[in-house]
Amino acid sequence: MQTKLRKFMQVTSTNSERHPRAGGDLAKNDHGLLRGPRLRGGPPKRHDGLCSSMYRRLVLSLLLLLPISFAQADTAYVTNEKDDTVSVIDLDTWTVTRTFEVGQRPRGIALSPDNKILYVCTSDDNTIRAFSTETLERLHDLPSGENPETFIVSPDGGRIYTSNESDNIVTVIDTVNRTVLAQIDVGVEPEGIAVSPDGKIAINTSETTNMAHWIETENYQIIENSLVDQRPRVALFDDVC
């Protein structure tokens, strides 16, 4: 089913270029949050040594439909951006069983690893809202930075990585303490976001810069930038790295 939803472009060391490593140390912004180093200027240079089996399995894709996540094998959730709602779909009958309000301009959507929490990115509210998958009741809000568009939950469920399109940053959120851990400067119009199965590397794509940015999750630093084709949207890791 998922193969029908996405059109994939494989990225390997033979068809992509790398941007020089972003320089500088971590610094705090005006709000006391960690900020990653900004990208250096100049034309991209090729680096062939970064690729590993994990990176070669990364897929950048163009998302053709609204984000869909599954709490169970027979349930799907769909964000309705203009109606400020989420639709719940029964996959046995392919019908909408419930539609509920979530906040202004819902976009990204994801589940916690245990499938008990449904996270919804409400962009115009500048927050990520958590709902119970059992009752669909709102549990709490998470700080996300301004204009969050897409996000990913870490494999252990402890962190969320969010693309903030207007500010050109990735915000890292602690889901337990409900606080912002860091904000990382990336390229222009960040959108796609993914985390490796082992949780050690996050990948963010910037649509205008045409790059994939590799982020170490231990220290929130960009370790490499890969030049890709125009307007990369979604990033995915293979389940096995």
205: domain CATH number? 2.130.10.10
pLDDT in tens, 179-200: 999 999 999 999 999 999 999 9
Classify residue 198: in a domain, yes or no: yes
Average pLDDT over residues 86-91: 96
What local confidence, expressed as pLDDT, does residue 18 receive? 39
Classify residue 46: in a domain, yes or no: no
Classify residue 214: in a domain, yes or no: yes
Domain count, the chain: 1
Classify residue 44: in a domain, yes or no: no
Calculate the CA dihedral of residues 147, 150, 155, 159 and round it to 10 degrees.
Answer: 0
Classify residue 191: in a domain, yes or no: yes
What are the φ and ψ backbone dihedral angles of 44, each rounded to 5 degrees? Answer: -65, 145
Classify residue 241: in a domain, yes or no: no
Domain of 154, in residue numbers? 2-39+51-236
Classify residue 105: in a domain, yes or no: yes
Classify residue 34: in a domain, yes or no: yes
125 CB-near residues (< 8 Å, 6+ apart): 103, 104, 105, 141
pLDDT in tens, 94-132: 999 999 999 999 999 999 999 999 999 999 999 999 999
